[in-house]
């Protein structure tokens, strides 16, 4: 997996959970200047429709 996360609790949690599932993290980069991107997903149980609120966080500043 290649991605960038912030140097924050969400980034710590993302890396921890990837490692817990044996997913390599050597290409997960940390950015002290940006927060980790997050998503809030709300599902209407009666219809199954979902709404997603996304914050990009460190993602736009990822470069190869």
What pLDDT is attached to residue 2? 87
For residue range 12-63, list pLDDT tens digits in order: 999 999 999 999 999 999 999 999 999 999 999 999 999 999 988 877 766 6
Residue found by looking up tokens 């609120």 in the block: 53
Could you tell me the pTM of the whole model?
0.74
Residues 20-39, buried b or exposed e (16+ Cβ, 10 A)? eeeeeeeebeebeebbbbee
Exposed / middle / buried, residue 57 (Cβ in 10 Å: 0-12, 13-18, 19+): buried
User: Considering only CA atoms, which of 4, 15, 11 is closest in space to residue 59?
Assistant: 4
Query: What six digits make up the tokens of 58?
Result: 């460190």
64, pLDDT greater than 70 = no
């Amino acid at each position: 997996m290649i991605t960038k996360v912030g140097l924050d609790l969400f980034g710590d949690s993302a890396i921890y959970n990837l490692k817990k599932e044996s997913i390599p993290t050597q290409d997960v980069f940390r950015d002290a200047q940006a927060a980790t991107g997050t998503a809030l997903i709300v599902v209407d149980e009666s219809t199954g429709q979902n709404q997603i609120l996304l914050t990009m966080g460190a993602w736009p500043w990822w470069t190869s």
